């Protein structure tokens, strides 16, 4: 799997750049730091937390996925660098839940625990997500809902 170059300017909630700040990069919706690399070949480890430059720019290489950083209670999604030529989302699985249910069981066959984002009623939603195995994800809501789950390898 290729590593993708991610770069993003990070700002404080008031709009000022987060210059020379240590930020931990997480899989979106998770709380485990992601292993980062300083080069596309993946030969040079990069510390996580990673430090922004003087303009608030954070830059790293990682497997394709949804990544976030938190600063002063605000989340910033990490974006692939504009010059990146490899596909950032090769492992996307879309689960449509047409019948309202409190528990959605998704058999995705990725072989890894995917990042999960949820849409209910056209809005991003939150739910409890578990991975009983490397090929199954269980999403639990507080009430029965229908919608879409996007799982990314």
Query: What's the pLDDT score for residue 55?
Result: 96
Residue 51: C-alpha distances to residues 7, 17, 46, 122, 129 (Å) = 12, 13, 10, 35, 30
The position carrying tokens 């303009």 is 55
- Nearest by Cα to 74 from 130, 135, 18: 18
DSSP 3-state of 51: strand
Q: Where are the domains of the chain?
A: 4-77, 92-152
Beta strands in the chain (DSSP E): 4-9, 22-23, 25-27, 36-37, 45-46, 50-51, 57-62, 67-71, 74-77, 92-107, 115-120, 123-125, 128-133, 136-152
Query: What's the pLDDT score for residue 119?
Result: 92
Query: What's the pLDDT score for residue 90?
Result: 53
Entry pTM: 0.57
- State pLDDT tens for residues 83-110: 777 665 556 777 899 999 999 999 876 6
% of the chain surpassing 90 pLDDT:
50
């Amino acid at each position: 799997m290729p590593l993708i170059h991610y770069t993003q300017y990070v700002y404080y909630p008031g709009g000022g750049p987060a210059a020379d700040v240590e930020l931990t990069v997480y899989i979106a919706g998770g709380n485990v730091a992601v292993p980062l690399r300083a080069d596309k070949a993946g030969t040079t480890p990069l510390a996580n937390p990673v430090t922004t430059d003087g303009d608030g720019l954070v830059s790293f290489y990682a497997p394709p996925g949804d990544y976030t950083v938190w600063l002063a209670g605000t989340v910033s999604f990490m974006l692939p660098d504009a010059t990146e030529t490899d596909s950032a989302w090769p492992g996307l699985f879309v689960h449509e839940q047409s019948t309202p249910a409190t528990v959605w069981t998704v058999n995705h066959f990725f072989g890894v625990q995917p990042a999960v984002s949820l849409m209910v009623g056209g809005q991003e939603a939150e739910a409890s997500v578990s991975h009983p195995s490397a090929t199954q994800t269980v999403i639990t809501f507080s009430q029965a809902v229908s919608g879409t789950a996007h799982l990314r390898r």
